[in-house]
Amino acid sequence: MAWNEPGGGDRDPWGKRKNDGPPDLDEFFKKIKESIEGLFGGKKPNGSGRSPSAGDSSFPVYLIIGLLAAAWLFSSFYKLDEGEQGVVMRFGKYHKTINPGLSFNPYLIDTVEVVGVTGIREYSASGTNSLMLTQDENIVQIPLIVQFNVSDVRNFIINVNDPILTLEEATDSAIRHVVGSTPMESALSDGRQQMADEVKLRLQAYLDGYGTGINVIAVTLQRGEPPEQVKDAFDDVNSAEQDRDRLIDQAEAYRNGILPAARGEAQRIIEQAEAYKGELVARAEGEAARFNQLYAEYSRAPEVTRERLYLDAVNEVMTNSSKVMVDVEGGNNLMYLPLDQIRQQSGAISSGNSIDRQQLIDEVLREIQRTGGSTSNARLR
C-alpha cells in the first residue's frame, strides 16, 4: 500500500506523525542513508531484503543524484573569449589546446588553464636591480621595459613553473651581458638603441631555449643614470663633455670658414708664382738669345758694337733719370741739368712716354754749349 493511500500514513517517508506535527529530521536523514546503502548493496530500508521500488523511500536519492549530474554537466561547459586560448589537462596530463568559443570538458576530470594570447604585457625593471657594471668598470643604472605576449600557450603553461619569473631573470641576464660589453659613455648617451636591439635578440634566444612560449615584442631602455652616490661628480663630467663638444663645434665652424679662404689664397699665390716663373724663364731665354745675337755682332765688329752698347746703356739710364750732373774737366763746378724741366719745355715727350735717345743727347749737348762748357770733355753722372 502506498504511503499516500488511505491507511498508509505509517509508511510516510517524510516522517509525519499522526497528529500532523513537524517532521523528525533525524528520522528523515536516517531513511536517506538507508536508501543509499540499499542502492549500493548494503542494508535495505526497514531491514528487509527487497529492492527499492517506486513506492519505497528511494525517490529522494534519485532526485539528488539527478541534480548532481545536472550540476556536473553544467559545470563541464565553458566559453573562452576572443583573444584567449586554453590548455586542457586530463588527470594532470596535457590533453589538448582549445580556441575561443564554447567547449565541453568533463568537470573534475579535465582542468583548463586559460591564457590571453593577443594582449601585450609589460615587464619593468628598475631600482636596485637595474644597477650594472659597464665595460670600463663604471656602475650605471639603466631601467628598461619589456613588452611581450604569449606565442605558445602549451609551452607557457607546461614547460616552466613560473614563466613570468623566468622572463624577469632572463631579462636581467641579457641586459647585464650587453651593458657589461658597452662603455659607460655609450650606454648613457647615443648607444641605447643599439643596446636595446641586442638585449631583445639575446632575451628572445634565452626564452626560446627555455621553451617558455613567450614572444618579445620590444625592449625599451630608459635614460640611464649613475648611482646617487656619484651623481654630482657625473654631472660635472657631463658638463665638461658638453663644453668640450661646444668648443669642438666652434673650432670646426672656424676651420670650415677659414680653410676655403686659405686654400683660395694659396692657389692664388701658386698661380702668381707660376706666372712669375714663366716670366723669368722667358726673360732669361730672351736675354740668352739677345746675348748670342750680340756676341755674333761683336765678333764681326767689336768697336762698333761696343759703342752701340754704350749708347744704349746711356739711353736707358737717361730715360730713367730726371736730373743729370755734368762734370767739366778743368772746372770747379758741377753742371746741373734738370731733364724733367727740359722735357716739359721742349715738349719732346708726353706724360707716361719715354724720350727719344738722340733727342735727349742733343738737348744735353745744347745745354752744355749754352753754359760755356766743352762737350768733348764733359762727363755725365
Could you report the per-residue pLDDT of 301-324, keeping only the tens digit for each?
A: 888 888 888 888 877 777 776 666
Of the ranges 28-42, 121-135, 145-159, 282-296, which one carries the lowest mean pLDDT score?
28-42
When pLDDT is cut at 50, 70 and 90, the band that residue 339 belongs to is low
Mean pLDDT of the chain: 75
Q: What integer pLDDT is reported at residue 92 of this predicted model?
A: 77
SS3 category, 77: strand
- As given in the structure block, the three cell numbers for residue 169 are 631573470
Q: What integer pLDDT is reported at residue 215 of this predicted model?
A: 93
What is the pLDDT averaged over residues 9-22?
Answer: 47
| Closest among 209, 102, 110, 93 to 157, alpha carbons compared | 93
Q: What integer pLDDT is reported at residue 88 of this predicted model?
A: 84
Res 84 pLDDT > 70: yes
Of the ranges 74-88, 214-228, 325-339, which one carries the lowest mean pLDDT score?
325-339
Res 379 pLDDT > 70: no
Res 22 pLDDT > 60: no
| Closest among 112, 72, 80, 74 to 96, alpha carbons compared | 112
pLDDT in tens, 276-298: 999 999 999 998 998 888 888 88
Percent of the chain with pLDDT over 90: 18
Cα 59 → chain centroid:
80
What is the pLDDT averaged over residues 60-82?
Answer: 76
Alpha helices in 76-107 (DSSP H): none
Q: What integer pLDDT is reported at residue 77 of this predicted model?
A: 73
Greater confidence, 213 or 34? 213
Greater confidence, 332 or 301? 301
Res 166 pLDDT > 80: yes
Radius of gyration of the chain (CA): 62
Measured between alpha carbons, how far is residue 134 from residues 131, 143, 179, 222 in Å?
10, 14, 5, 16
Q: What integer pLDDT is reported at residue 49 of this predicted model?
A: 45
Q: What integer pLDDT is reported at residue 277 of this predicted model?
A: 93
When pLDDT is cut at 50, 70 and 90, the band that residue 360 belongs to is low
Q: What integer pLDDT is reported at residue 358 of this predicted model?
A: 56
Res 248 pLDDT > 50: yes
Q: What integer pLDDT is reported at residue 345 of this predicted model?
A: 64
User: What's the residue count for the chain?
Assistant: 381
Q: What integer pLDDT is reported at residue 129 of this predicted model?
A: 62
What is the pLDDT averaged over residues 109-131?
Answer: 78
Res 347 pLDDT > 70: no
Other Cβ atoms less than 10 A from the Cβ of 124: the count is 13
Taking every pair of Cα atoms in the chain, the longest distance, rounded to a whole number of angstroms, is 199
Return the CATH superfamily for domain 135-226. Band 7 domain (3.30.479.30)
Domain range annotation of the chain: 9-74, 76-116, 135-226, 232-300, 319-380
User: What is the C-alpha to C-alpha distance for residues 25 and 31, in angstroms, rounded to an integer?
Assistant: 10
Greater confidence, 173 or 132? 173
User: What is the C-alpha to C-alpha distance for residues 268 and 291, in angstroms, rounded to an integer?
Assistant: 34
**Look-up: residue for cell 618579445?**
216
DSSP assignment, residue 120? Answer: P
Greater confidence, 158 or 31? 158
Res 359 pLDDT > 60: yes
When pLDDT is cut at 50, 70 and 90, the band that residue 351 belongs to is very low
Res 232 pLDDT > 50: yes
pTM passes above 0.85: no
What is the pLDDT averaged over residues 73-79?
Answer: 74
Q: What integer pLDDT is reported at residue 207 of this predicted model?
A: 92
What is the pLDDT averaged over residues 124-146?
Answer: 79
User: What is the C-alpha to C-alpha distance for residues 190 and 314, in angstroms, rounded to an integer?
Assistant: 82
User: What is the C-alpha to C-alpha distance for residues 327 and 210, in angstroms, rounded to an integer?
Assistant: 120
